[in-house]
Amino acid sequence: MANFRYVAINREGARVEGVMTAVGESELDRKLDEKGLVVLDSRPTDDSTATGAVRVKRRLLAAADRRELINFCVQLSASLSAGIPLIEAVEEIGKEAPGRRFKAVLEEIVRSVRGGEPFSAAISQHPRTFSPIFVSLVRAGEEVGRIDQSLRHLVTYLEWREEIAGQIRRLTFYPVVLLVALVALMLVLFGWALPRIFANVRGDFELPLVTRMVQDTSFFVARNIQWILAGILASIAGYFGVRATQRGRLWLDAFWIELPFYGEVLQKLVAARFVRIFRILITNGINILLGLELAGRSTDNAFFERQVKRARQKIMDEGVPLADGLSVVTVLPPLVHRMMRTGEKSGRLDETLASVHDYYEKEVPQTVEWFLRILELVVLFLLAGVVFIVILSIFMAILAIAQQATK
């Protein structure tokens, strides 16, 4: 649960400002609507109602490892199913928790629950450990008295998220590693090795064109190696600097997801995460608007999240069906749009989303593997081409020297 600072107008048209606690913007809208207020603007604040000491302490508690969360959900679900009281179960799990910081988080949760707070409210005070999706599913379980069932769904979700995170890491870091290796090889070859070779080539004869081109390139790199390295470092720093801003992250996410080939793979990954999370949320009784907000946010893609917000706003303002609202989300493949419409018309949206998820569960790993293999081939061809040109230039230089020597 997060704190939101909002600006709204009441029935008399007067401007009202304040702070309210809610899981997300849709719940905030609902709460304010019940008070007769129409939201003009809202944005989350960082623990604005907590004391300074509490804020500092919570920020020092790092996010829990995903495996710790999975073990926590498994143990707590088993304990609750066995009839062990919630506070006692969390307290026992906290005593056995291997991570010191996660243990401290659980101790704080126990204190909050003993103080009268609901379990979902207690875990919402630790957003770095428990995501909004985690909090929403626990709250849904509280409302129907089946927290253990919600926790089992969370185990499935967290295990799947760990698997999909591995595929995203491969898709993100593997190309970077190949690119870094290729650039490093070029710098060593043209900035150090070739200049030393060509420095020994002297004589009153003209070198072949290929040799002269490679020679000029190597001498240029050798003379300006410090500026080239500075430019590379500045580009990397600039990229992360731009990505640190909200507008920059939005632009970069849009750029990557619209690239040929690579963007198509990213679209499938984003769609798979969105469909899986959205299905889990609505299956557990989360309303569609809040489910859209949480599922869109969980994809870690600012461009897609903005499109989902537009879809959510369209559903709220115009009262259109879910499938029509999602028509503005261009990142989602046509398959998802088609299946959403079919599931909504037939009243079996949950089953339809399960079918889409099963499809992507097989399709995404194959697509990632295919892309990485193609990337390997491209890098190998580039490397082979550079090496061929370098060897050809040296060989042509040797022939020119030999011909000059025979004259």
pLDDT classification of 50: cutoffs 50, 70, 90: very low
Domain count, the chain: 3
Residues facing residue 157 across a β-bridge: none
Residues 231 and 339 in one domain: yes
What's the pLDDT tens digit per position in 61-79?
A: 445 567 788 888 888 888 8
Residues 263 and 296 in one domain: yes
What's the pLDDT tens digit per position in 136-148?
A: 888 888 877 788 8
Residue 136 lies in a domain: no
Q: Is residue 256 packed enough to be buried (19+ CB in 10 Å), middle (13-18) or exposed (0-12)? A: middle
Residues 43 and 120 in one domain: no
Encoded amino acid at 106, one letter? L
Residues 280 and 300 in one domain: yes
Question: What is the torsional sign of CA 62, 66, 67, 68?
Answer: positive
Residues 189 and 300 in one domain: yes
Residues 180 and 328 in one domain: yes
Residues 88 and 171 in one domain: no
Residue 150 lies in a domain: no
How does 8-40 read in b/e, with b if 16+ C-beta sit within 10 Å? beeeeeeebeeebebbbbbbbbebbeeeebebe
Residues spanned by the domain of 65: 55-130
Residues 261 and 350 in one domain: yes
Residues 35 and 117 in one domain: no
pLDDT of residue 261: 85
What's the pLDDT tens digit per position in 12-21?
A: 556 677 777 7
